[in-house]
Amino acid sequence: MPHKDLLDIASLDRSEIDHLLDQSVPFKELFTRSVKKVPALKGKSVLMLFYEASTRTHSSFEVAAKRLSADVINFDVARSSITKGESVRETVETLQAMRTDFIIVRHSRSGLPGQIAKLTRASVINAGDGAHAHPTQALLDAFTIKEIFPDPAGKKVLIVGDILHSRVARSTSLILQKLGVEVAHLGPGSLVPRLCQDIRRFTDYTAAMAWAPDFVYLLRVQMERQDVQYFPSLREYHRLYGVTEARLAEIRDRGLYIMHPGPVNRGVELCDAVMDYERTLINDQVENGIAVRMAVLYWLKPGATHED
Amino acid sequence: MHQRTLTAEDIAAGVERLVLAIRKKSQGKALALIGIRSRGDEVAQRLLNMLSEEDRDLSFGVLDISLYRDDFAHLHENPALQESDIPFTVEGAHIILVDDVLFTGRTIRAALDALSDYGRPAKVELAVLIDRGHREMPIQPDYVGITLDTHRLDHVWVSLEGTDGLDQVQIVEKEMP
């Protein structure tokens, strides 16, 4: 049964996750053709409603929608009436009148895409809401890992950084667990919550590496959210949790893969040399993001009954 | 409910007929067979096996047309997509599209659209194991294995060894009031 919306990973069961990841393969295959566009969503419209800055996710969704021949409408929030105090409900009613088929939402408030989904017949895709969820990031991460290990059960992924405020950590940990992957979190004590018993928790880099992960997944340090200081300085963060040149040498020796949701802060989460390391999957993640988002757009059915 | 069945022998004879006709028309020339998923690929594979007995340059590909269908709006669920695999240059090739059943012609319309996104072939022909009539598009086959006289509402179920475990065609006639 196709869903109307994609709001989080928790609402997908194992067979639906497998279906979406399998379907992403033929979509990625299209990228090798000279004509990368297919007519599947011809005549459909996709509205991009981004209340929070994003270059990567925004353009990834836009490319995905355009390769499916959908029309893309960018709702420029900065210039819209939202800044004049229009409520989300009023905005959605306006959008409803535009009869778009898909709405891609990013907002700093957790749960907002879900609220919008209830107000509209359009399919709503959560492109990141607060510290809650980022389901398409999770799907593309799982897809990237499956490209390396087709059956990833039993593999180990170490997620490093500010786990507490990260929707990426939340969604990606959840999807990996559903696929039988072992997940551990590493970061400053105050930023690594006890999310669930199945996730190992580390505050020391050396101890985390002794756990023998297969993938080191670096979260982005949110430079723009420097209002509260969770660690002494960026240099200190790099020294404690960043992939330094010395740590990269160890990672290379062990043959580990490096992932990052982007955009990277060089000299903070990782040193320059990581970008040239042959097992850095950051660019694969970008390409896979388009394929996975195409699979999601193709799978969702606008107008289907909202599953509550 | 009335039902007719074609056997494995009937199917083999149909495939044989396709091979003879293709041989006769394009003796020794380079050909590219593209089977349409699903089951068209299996028919194409059988043609390839039989045609490869002669000295001829043959290519083989598989096409999934799900993304090119014209009936998304009518479907409750979008069809599951499979990989297309066309490992040769479509540009300038002599292509024979192969499918199991030709009915409305809409699948072939979609296949032609899909194919054009890979390049501009020199020539495209159509080979079908079964032509059951009732076209809704101006599309006609160049090679036909078996011609079936059916009612528009009849169901034609094709089973093939590789996909379904046995070779058989069942024609289930619509119920008359």
Partnered with residue B169 across adjacent β-strands are B6, B158
pLDDT in tens, A157-201: 999 999 999 999 999 999 999 999 999 999 998 889 887 778 999
The answer to whether A27 contacts B81, with C-beta atoms less than 8 Å apart, is yes
pLDDT in tens, A219-267: 998 876 655 567 778 889 999 999 999 999 999 999 999 999 999 999 9
Report the CATH superfamily, name and number, of domain A14-134+288-299: Aspartate/ornithine carbamoyltransferase (3.40.50.1370)
Domain ranges of chain B: 8-68+83-153
- Interaxial angle between packed helices A167-178 and A14-29, expressed in degrees from 0 to 180 and rounded to the nearest 10: 100
* B54 vs A12: which has the higher pLDDT: A12
Q: What is the pLDDT of residue A81?
A: 56
Mean pLDDT over each residue of chain B, to the nearest integer: 93
Q: In this model, does residue B89 exceed pLDDT 50? A: yes
Q: In this model, does residue A78 exceed pLDDT 70? A: no
Please check whether residue B105 is in contact with residue B112, taking contact to mean a CB–CB distance below 8 angstroms.
no
Entry pTM: 0.91
Q: What is the pLDDT of residue B167?
A: 96
Strand bridging mode A102-107 / A123-129: parallel
DSSP three-state, residue A249? helix
What does the alpha-carbon distance between residue A32 and residue A298 come to, in Å, rounded to a whole number? 19
Q: What is the pLDDT of residue A306?
A: 45
pLDDT in tens, A283-306: 999 999 999 999 999 999 988 654
Q: What is the pLDDT of residue B34?
A: 98
Min Cα distance A174 → chain B (Å) is 25
Q: What is the pLDDT of residue A52?
A: 85
Q: What is the pLDDT of residue A308?
A: 42
Min Cα distance A63 → chain B (Å) is 16
Which residues in chain A are classed under CATH 3.40.50.1370?
Answer: 14-134+288-299, 135-286
Q: What is the pLDDT of residue A53?
A: 81
Q: Does A303 touch chain B (CB under 8 A)?
A: no
pLDDT band at A85 (very low <50, low <70, confident <90, very high): low
CATH class name, domain A135-286: alpha beta
Cα A181 to chain centroid, rounded? 17
The answer to whether B119 contacts A37, with C-beta atoms less than 8 Å apart, is no
CATH of B8-68+83-153, one of 3.40.1130.10, 3.40.50.1100, 3.40.190.10, 3.40.50.2020: 3.40.50.2020
Residue B5 neighbours by CB under 8 Å, 6+ apart = B168, B169, B170, B171
What's the mean pLDDT in B82-101? Answer: 95
The answer to whether B83 contacts A27, with C-beta atoms less than 8 Å apart, is no
Give the residue on B whose Cα is nearest the Cα of A303: B76
Minimal Cβ distance to B67: which of A1, A39, A301: A39
Residue A206 neighbours by CB under 8 Å, 6+ apart = none
